[in-house]
Chain A
Amino acid sequence: MIKILKTISMLSLLLLILAPLAYLQGRLQLDTTKTWLIVATLVWFISAPFWMNHGRQS
């Protein structure tokens, strides 16, 4: 489960960088880029807490 969540988190970070790069190349409109950025943000903040502070509690 942690592995899946970690992969989802990493994909969200990838999206966070690919969306602006696509905008730079003129492949995305600004509004669409902003939408992808907030989607990536939500996915990151939902998935990352499950594995990022996992070892810290102990």
Chain B
Amino acid sequence: MQNENNTDKSIEPQVNEYEREPVPKKSLLGFKSFVGMYAGEHCAGTELMIGPLFVAAGVSAFDLIIGLLLGNLLAVLSWTFITAPIATRARLTLYYQLEKICGRKLVTLYNLANGIMFCFLAGAMITVSATAVGVWFDFRMPELNDLYPNSFGWVLSVLIVGALISIVAGYGYRSVANIANIAAPWMVLVFLAFGIIALRQFIQLTGVEIHSLSDLWDLANNRIWTGGEPLAGQVKFTFWHVIFFAWFCNLAMHIGMADLSVLRFAKKSWYGLASSTGMYIGHFMAWISASLLYALQLNQNAADTAVLPGPMAFKAAGLAGILCVIIAGWTTANPTIYRAGLAFQAIMPKFSRFKVTLFAGLAATIAGLFPAIAMRLLDFVALYGLVLVPMGAVIFVDFYIFKRLGLQQNLAAERGISFNRAAALAWFVTLAACMALVLYGGVQIYFVSLPGWFVAALIYILFSMIYQKSGEQQS
């Protein structure tokens, strides 16, 4: 998942600049800036939930390793060949680019959707941090299939963690971003330590001797990621699930175009390749390490199916492990709540940023009380991408195809409209069709976003042809 702190020194101070103009040449950044930023961004608290959920989904060693390698490669290629070329040619933020195409009112709706999704995501991060509290205080923590809070201690723990994070976010997240920057290299190595320690414990537990890579592969296949049936209440993950999940985990950022705001600073479009650091450190190494911790827990006690990053990390790495859970959860939740606050403030400009951020924090804390979001994080991440990806298709089509079809690019800016109906229809109809497929068509949510992108693109073209050629005035 994405941690929105930038580990890089040079990008962060600039992201709020040039909000309504192309980034000038003098402010462009080199490849190294993006390498550091992506590496830090994608090693977040939620990795500690996602890794174990793969194991709960009954994934096999081959499906996990090869699926992650390929899925992450597709994600890197998406950043490089879809997001970065538009970012480096237009050099505009996602919001300004969208506003030029869709108009202010539709962008406000997009902001609302984004803000709500951010609140839920931050809720999952608060849940992760709150599991660390349970290491010191003896209260009942959520089980894998729990939907609702199951003890007073859990509620209290989430409320305290959520309140702290929200108040800090209300005062601005710069100081937390600084801590996150410092923590990033340390956190990556603690994640690696989780994996190495869990591997040693597997070797001790099973009594196998590892003399070659083949021995290691046998251990992985037979004891760690054994495949077979998922745990009760979980969806079975195959090779294709892993590929699509890894590819679409940050769908909103690449194909959904949110990273236009970041990559507009890149000198060359191939700088999108820098995302490989985030994918192969955070979404490969960290997921595998976290899944090792959970697989070990299941091997030690098959009945202990609870995914609780705090206790798992404490068992493996002691205090350093628990600090990693707290810092990973906190430094990720904090900017997410802050960004949700910004999104809501765009809708309610009369309220101060502090008040709106506190409101977003309250919403995230309430979401964090419900373990269903964290325990169903794989589904939620897929939904998050699905909700925002149609607008990525709208930007792509508007940028590359409209001129060739004789259609007006950047319609809202050119005609002074505030609500582009064709773009709105592309968004709403795609979402409705995809959700209908998921709810009634038996298609799993991990697989609808790809056809959804094409549907959104086609609808946008079709209705733009109808509206633009009939000369109908839009609102």
Which A residues form the contact surface with B (CB < 8 A)?
A: 13, 16-17, 19-21, 23-24, 26, 30-31, 33-35, 37-38, 40-41, 44-45, 48-49, 52-53, 55-56
Q: Is the CB of B197 within 8 A of A20?
A: yes
CA distance A33 to B316 in the complex (A): 10
Q: Which residue of chain A is the closest to B184 with respect to CB atoms?
A: A52
Q: Is the CB of B319 within 8 A of A30?
A: no
Contact of A16 among B183, B190, B199, B318 (CB under 8 A): B190
Report the minimum CB–CB distance from A43 to chain B (whole Å): 10
Chain A residue numbers with a CB within 8 Å of B147 are: none
Q: Is the CB of A34 within 8 A of B181?
A: no
The 10 A-B residue pairs with the shortest CB-CB distance in the complex, in nearest-first order = A34-B318, A37-B320, A20-B196, A20-B193, A16-B189, A41-B320, A38-B319, A24-B200, A38-B320, A44-B186
Chain B residue numbers with a CB within 8 Å of A56 are: 9, 13, 178, 181
Contact of A37 among B9, B178, B190 (CB under 8 A): B190
Chain B residue numbers with a CB within 8 Å of A41 are: 186, 190, 319-320, 323
Q: Is the C-beta of B416 less than 8 angstroms from some C-beta in chain A?
A: no
Chain B residue numbers with a CB within 8 Å of A24 are: 196-197, 199-200
Chain A residue numbers with a CB within 8 Å of B199 are: 24
Report the minimum CB–CB distance from B382 to chain A (whole Å): 33
Chain B residue numbers with a CB within 8 Å of A45 are: 182-183, 186
Report the minimum CB–CB distance from A32 to chain B (whole Å): 10
User: What is the total of A-B residue contacts with beta carbons within 8 Å?
Assistant: 73
Mostly, the A contact residues are: helix
Q: Which residue of chain B is the closest to A57 with respect to CB atoms?
A: B178
Contact of B185 among A13, A30, A55 (CB under 8 A): A13
Chain A residue numbers with a CB within 8 Å of B192 are: 17, 20
Q: Kindly identify, within residues 303 to 328 of chain B, every residue whose CB is under 8 Å from any CB belonging to chain A.
A: 317-321, 323
Report the minimum CB–CB distance from B289 to chain A (whole Å): 10
Chain A residue numbers with a CB within 8 Å of B181 are: 52-53, 56
Known: A16-B193, A23-B200. A38 touches B185 (CB 8 A): no
Q: Which residue of chain B is the closest to A16 with respect to CB atoms?
A: B189
Q: Kindly identify, within residues 370 to 421 of chain B, every residue whose CB is under 8 Å from any CB belonging to chain A.
A: none
Report the minimum CB–CB distance from A45 to chain B (whole Å): 7
Q: Is the CB of A48 within 8 A of B182?
A: yes
Known: A37-B318, A38-B318, A52-B181. A19 touches B186 (CB 8 A): no
CA distance A56 to B7 in the complex (A): 11
A-B contact pairs, 10 of them (CB 8 A): A16-B186, A17-B189, A20-B196, A23-B197, A30-B201, A41-B319, A48-B182, A52-B182, A53-B181, A56-B9
Chain B residue numbers with a CB within 8 Å of A13 are: 185-186, 189
Which B residues form the contact surface with A (CB < 8 A)?
A: 9, 13, 178, 181-183, 185-186, 189-190, 192-193, 196-197, 199-201, 317-321, 323
Known pairs A24-B196, A34-B321, A48-B182; list 10 more (Cβ under 8 Å): A13-B186, A26-B200, A30-B201, A33-B197, A34-B320, A38-B319, A40-B320, A49-B178, A52-B181, A53-B182
Q: Is the CB of A19 within 8 A of B319?
A: no
Q: Is the CB of B178 within 8 A of A53?
A: yes
Report the minimum CB–CB distance from B300 to chain A (whole Å): 14
CA distance A33 to B215 in the complex (A): 25
Chain B residue numbers with a CB within 8 Å of A38 are: 318-320, 323
Q: Which residue of chain B is the closest to A15 with respect to CB atoms?
A: B189
Chain B residue numbers with a CB within 8 Å of A55 are: 9
Q: Is the CB of A19 within 8 A of B9?
A: no
Report the minimum CB–CB distance from B100 to chain A (whole Å): 32
Chain A residue numbers with a CB within 8 Å of B13 are: 56
CA distance A56 to B8 in the complex (A): 10
CA distance A40 to B318 in the complex (A): 13
Chain A residue numbers with a CB within 8 Å of B185 are: 13
Q: Which residue of chain B is the closest to A24 with respect to CB atoms?
A: B200
Chain B residue numbers with a CB within 8 Å of A44 are: 186
CA distance A55 to B8 in the complex (A): 11
Q: Which residue of chain A is the closest to B186 with respect to CB atoms?
A: A44
CA distance A18 to B263 in the complex (A): 35
Report the minimum CB–CB distance from B118 to chain A (whole Å): 25
Known: A49-B182, A52-B182. A17 touches B193 (CB 8 A): yes
CA distance A31 to B197 in the complex (A): 11
Chain A residue numbers with a CB within 8 Å of B321 are: 34, 37
Q: Which residue of chain B is the closest to A25 with respect to CB atoms?
A: B200
Q: Is the CB of B200 within 8 A of A37?
A: no
CA distance A47 to B192 in the complex (A): 21
CA distance A37 to B319 in the complex (A): 8
Report the minimum CB–CB distance from B379 to chain A (whole Å): 32
Chain A residue numbers with a CB within 8 Å of B318 are: 31, 34-35, 37-38
Q: Which residue of chain B is the closest to A23 with respect to CB atoms?
A: B200
CA distance A45 to B189 in the complex (A): 14
